[in-house]
Amino acid sequence: MIDRFRSDLTWSDVTPRGMFLNRRQLIAGAAGLAFAGPAAAKIAARPSAYSTDATPNSLADITSYNNYYEFGTGKDDPAANAGGLTISPWSVEIGGMVDKPGSYGLEDILKHVTLEERIYRFRCVEAWSMVVPWIGFPLSDLLARAGVGAGAKYVAFQTLMRPEEMPGESYPILDWPYREGLRLDEAMHPLTILATGLYGEALPRQNGAPIRLVVPWKYGFKSIKAIVRITLTDKRPPTAWNTENPREYGFFSNVNPAVDHPRWSQATERPLGGGLFAGRVPTQLFNGYGDQVAALYAGQDLKADF
């Protein structure tokens, strides 16, 4: 995976969130933040029983250190390049083995769901992690509305393909558009959500606005952004990173400290935003959500199904 050198210590490590938010009011229109809506707008969301009690990372961490190759391969590229993405109006095409296929407008989707704030640990495959207070709703709510057809076993997702606004798509880094997939039982699990905001506000463009997947027990690249298509199928769908390099990126992509990436150990991780002297910590199986999701993989060899 392409990456750039970046110091562990950033200004966001030592800037309180309140001070950062005041500063943000001065630059609300800047592409570096690229929020989906007005900076002052708040999203009404109830707390979730599925939240971790861990302290969330700063808004600066979450919005300035991202993997989103549609806008560049550097961690700071999405914040710098995503500001021009048109995200309204937006619709998601739902098809395949569903009872009610069609184009579902985002505003209409949100009228039929109850938003929750869920504070999740979020881990990237490069062995860094953060804690994010997402605003969203269970993916199962939307799938139930579309009607899961008999025989469906997998859910496939596709990102927007618009290279004139997503400059990374003009380069053959991946087989665009970005695609991802889950087994149906994973998709229907209550921990799996579609996020439309974070920190009580509309989702920033660099974080996947206007709607993205969050699967907290899997690596971050499984959480596809800017979703425009959801397809239910009886066959395992191709996924972007697994297609690009199946040796390094398995279909399941569960966080498992016992399965090393071919180029580095995944036994420990570096919490983002911990400051200059923050050490690495042990990686938890299923990112710490084993009590909730381990039963999904009963009988599977998690080293073979990585």
Specify whether the CB–CB gap between 27 and 188 falls below 8 A: no
With 70 as the cut, is the pLDDT of residue 4 above it?
Answer: no
Question: Whole-model pTM above 0.95?
Answer: no
Tell me the per-residue pLDDT of 94-117, one tens digit each, with 9 for 90 and over: 999 999 999 999 999 999 999 999
Specify whether the CB–CB gap between 190 and 201 falls below 8 A: no
Return all residues near 90 (Cβ < 8 A) that are at least 6 apart: 105, 106, 210, 211, 228
Upper half-sphere CA count for residue 86 (Cβ side, 13 Å): 9
From the list 85, 79, 75, the residue with the least C-alpha distance to 162 is 85
Tell me the per-residue pLDDT of 55-86, one tens digit each, with 9 for 90 and over: 999 999 999 999 999 999 999 999 999 999 99
**CA–CA separation, 152 vs 134, rounded Å?**
28
Tell me the per-residue pLDDT of 203-232, one tens digit each, with 9 for 90 and over: 999 999 999 999 999 999 999 999 999 999
CATH code for the domain defined by 11-295: 3.90.420.10
Q: How far is CA 285 from the centre of its chain?
A: 19
Q: What is the dihedral of CA 69, 38, 49, 109, to 10 degrees?
A: -80
The domain segmentation of the chain, as residue ranges, is 11-295
